[in-house]
Amino acid sequence: MSPKFEPQIPDVVLERLALYHCLLQEWILVNKNKPITSREIAKILGFTDETVRRDLSFLDKSSGKPGVGYDVFELYEKLSGKLGMEDRVSVVFAGTVDVIDSLSGILNLEKFGFVVEAIFSENPEDEGKIYRGIRVTSIDQISKDNIPDGSRLAVVVVHPSWLNFTMKKLNEAGIKGILNLTPSVVTIFPDGVEGIQLRYPCYLKVLQFKTKK
């Protein structure tokens, strides 16, 4: 018997599958357990019904029932399996204590299973501080020895002048994925690092166009 062909998931589809996973996770947390349809998912997230159904076809087996929808828990588990989600994922944070303190309530990473276990700051006054049980270390001390074993993800919010240096140090320390929140339009991530750049000014440009009378 020939091996089963596993279609490669395009990045744009992968991002939407992760978004569906987050949506279902939020619903589970608030005990919303009624079946959900692809049309409902599409309406909430701003996609078309066809896009959602096409994306979910990448799952090994569809759990949807015509006229009923998808069982929230079952679809969540199938997405978890497809995305290789883990119950607890270690995250490294690069940025000042003031910044991480401001973002912690907004990002709420732990809600989604991501736990910050190392903090590196470009502010000399932060070095040695204890933030939520974590000793803050200087950015120039980023190394494999100062990063928890198994950590492969980092969130970066530093002054632009520190960005390239920080990403280079994280790469050398074994970090494989970086979510960069530092304001930037063009970001060159190190070789071997998967990166995502949030481009806030560009999003505001979209909104100014949509709201312009």
Q: In the predicted model, is pLDDT for residue 38 greater than 50?
A: yes
Domain that residue 190 falls in: 89-202
Q: Which of residues 22, 50, 81 is at a domain's end?
A: 81
For residue range 124-155, list pLDDT tens digits in order.
Answer: 999 999 999 999 999 999 999 999 998 999 99
Report the distance separating Cα 213 and Cα 97, nearest Å. Answer: 41
pTM of the prediction? 0.81
* 109, burial (CB in 10 Å: exposed 0-12, middle 13-18, buried 19+): middle
Residue 179 lies in a domain: yes
For residue range 48-79, list pLDDT tens digits in order.
Answer: 999 999 999 998 766 666 667 899 999 999 99
* 188, burial (CB in 10 Å: exposed 0-12, middle 13-18, buried 19+): exposed
Q: What is the largest CA-CA distance in the chain?
A: 63
Report the distance separating Cα 50 and Cα 58, nearest Å. Answer: 13
Residues near 70 by beta carbon (within 8 Å), at least 6 away in sequence = 35, 36, 37, 38, 56, 63, 64
Report the distance separating Cα 25 and Cα 18, nearest Å. Answer: 10
**Are 98 and 171 in a shared domain?**
yes
Closest CA to 79 of 17, 19, 25: 17
**Are 113 and 36 in a shared domain?**
no
Residue 93 lies in a domain: yes
CATH code of the domain in which 40 resides:
1.10.10.10
**Are 43 and 96 in a shared domain?**
no
Residue 114 lies in a domain: yes
CATH code of the domain in which 125 resides:
3.40.50.720
Residue 94 lies in a domain: yes
**Are 196 and 93 in a shared domain?**
yes
For residue range 76-112, list pLDDT tens digits in order.
Answer: 999 999 988 888 899 999 999 999 999 887 888 888 8
How confident is the model at residue 64, as a pLDDT? 60
Residue 173 lies in a domain: yes
Q: Strand order of the sheet with strand 114-121?
A: 137-138, 114-121, 89-94, 153-156, 177-180, 194-197
- Percent of the chain exceeding pLDDT 90 equals 62
How confident is the model at residue 1, as a pLDDT? 38
